[in-house]
Amino acid sequence: MGVSAAAPVVLAADGGGSKTDVLAIGLDGRVLAHERGRGGNPQVAGWPPVREELDRLRAAVLAAASDRTVLLQHVYLAGLDLQEELAEARRRLQHWTALAPLTAENDLFALLRAGTAAKDAVAVVCGTGINAIGVRADGASARFPALGEISGDWGGGSGLGPAALWHAIRAEDGRGPATALREVVTGAFGTATVRAVVEGLHFGRIPREALNDLTPALFAAAEAGDAVAASVVDRQAEEVVVMADVLLRRLDLQSTPLPVVLGGSVLAGRSPRLVAGVVAGLAERAPLARPTWVVEPPVVGAALLALEAAGAPPEALTVARDEVVAALPSR
C-alpha cells in the first residue's frame, strides 16, 4: 500500500443483523471509499463468516484508498454485549492492528453517536431485537446483556412478529379474542389458515426469521383500531421506556436534561401509536429526558467516533455526516 502522510484517513465499520458497512474517511470528512456486505452479528452468524466478510470489505476499501495513511480503525458490531464477546472480537480482529490501532465495540455506541454528541445520554435500539445503553460525562456507562428472552428482553421484529402469530393462532382456534392479525398472518404467507403457517414453521418450510416481516402489518392493524394489535404495540412502547428509565436510574441521571436516542428499524418507522406510547411513557417516568429519533444508520456514528478519536475538526464532522449518508445505498 502506498503512504501519504499528508492525506490520512480513518476506517469506520458497522455491522448489524442484515448488513455491514466499511468506509475510509479523510480527516476533512470526505468519504474516499465504501463497501457494503452481509450482516456482521457474530452472535447470529458466528465469527468465521463475520471475520471473513469484514476482512473482504476492509481490503476493498483499503485498495480504493491505497495512497492514504490509516490512522485509526473503529469497528462497531451487533452482538458484542458481554465482556467476553468484546474480548473475542478484539482477538478475531487482532491482525488489523498491524495497520493501525483498532477499537472494537458494540454498535449501540455508533447508534448513540449518530443521534447525539451529548456526554450524558441514553440510546435504545429496536430493530430485529432490542437493546439499550446509557453513558455519563464522567465515562460511566450501563447496558443490558441483551441475549434475548433468557436475559429478560422482549421486542423488535423478533418479538413483535412471533407475538402477532401467537395472537393470530389463538384467535383462529378460539383461545383468544378475534383480531385482524389472523388476516395479517395468512396474507403475509399466502395460506388459508394460521395453522398452516404454524405447521410450516414447525416443519422448516417457513424460516422463523420470516416472522420479523410481520411487524409493519402489525403496526398497520394497530393504527386501524385492532385492539389486540394495539396491545402488542403498547407493550413494545413500554419496553422501550422501561429500558431507558432503568439506565437513567443506574447512572443517577434522572435529574439531568438529556437526549434519549431512539433508533433501529422498528423505532425509525415512527408508528404513531408507538411514538405516542414512548413519548408519554418517558414524560411520566423521566420528564427531563428528550426523545430523539435518529434516522441515519449507525455507521454514521461509527464514522463520527473514528474522526473524533483522530482529532478531526468540528467542521469535518458536519461534512462527514452528509458524506456518509450520501455514500450509502438507499437500502
Per-residue pLDDT at 275 exceeds 60: yes
Per-residue pLDDT at 3 exceeds 50: no
First to last CA, the chain: 31
Per-residue pLDDT at 196 exceeds 50: yes
Residue with cell 443483523: 17
**How far from 37 is each of 48, 61, 135, 213, CA to CA, in Å?**
15, 12, 30, 21
The answer to whether 22 and 58 are in contact (CB under 8 A) is yes
CATH 3.30.420.40 fits 115-294, yes or no: yes
Domain 9-106+296-327 and domain 115-294 have a common topology: yes
Alpha helix (H) ranges present in 97-210?
108-115, 157-173, 181-189, 194-202
Give tens-digit pLDDT for 240-252: 999 999 999 999 9
Residue 331: pLDDT band with limits 50, 70, 90: low
The answer to whether 131 and 146 are in contact (CB under 8 A) is yes
DSSP 8-state code for residue 12: E
Give tens-digit pLDDT for 200-233: 999 999 999 999 999 999 999 999 999 999 999 9
Alpha carbons 13 and 28: distance in angstroms, whole number = 18
Give the residue with greater pLDDT, 170 vs 147: 170
Q: Give the residue extent of every domain in the chain.
A: 9-106+296-327, 115-294
For residues 122-128, give the mean pLDDT. 94
Residue 121: pLDDT band with limits 50, 70, 90: very high
Per-residue pLDDT at 6 exceeds 80: no
**How far from 149 is each of 160, 207, 282, CA to CA, in Å?**
13, 19, 24
CATH architecture for segment(s) 9-106+296-327: 2-Layer Sandwich (3.30)
Give tens-digit pLDDT for 41-78: 998 899 999 999 999 999 999 999 988 999 999 999 99
**How far from 31 is each of 20, 28, 34, 297, 301, CA to CA, in Å?**
16, 9, 7, 15, 14
Give tens-digit pLDDT for 68-85: 999 999 999 999 999 999
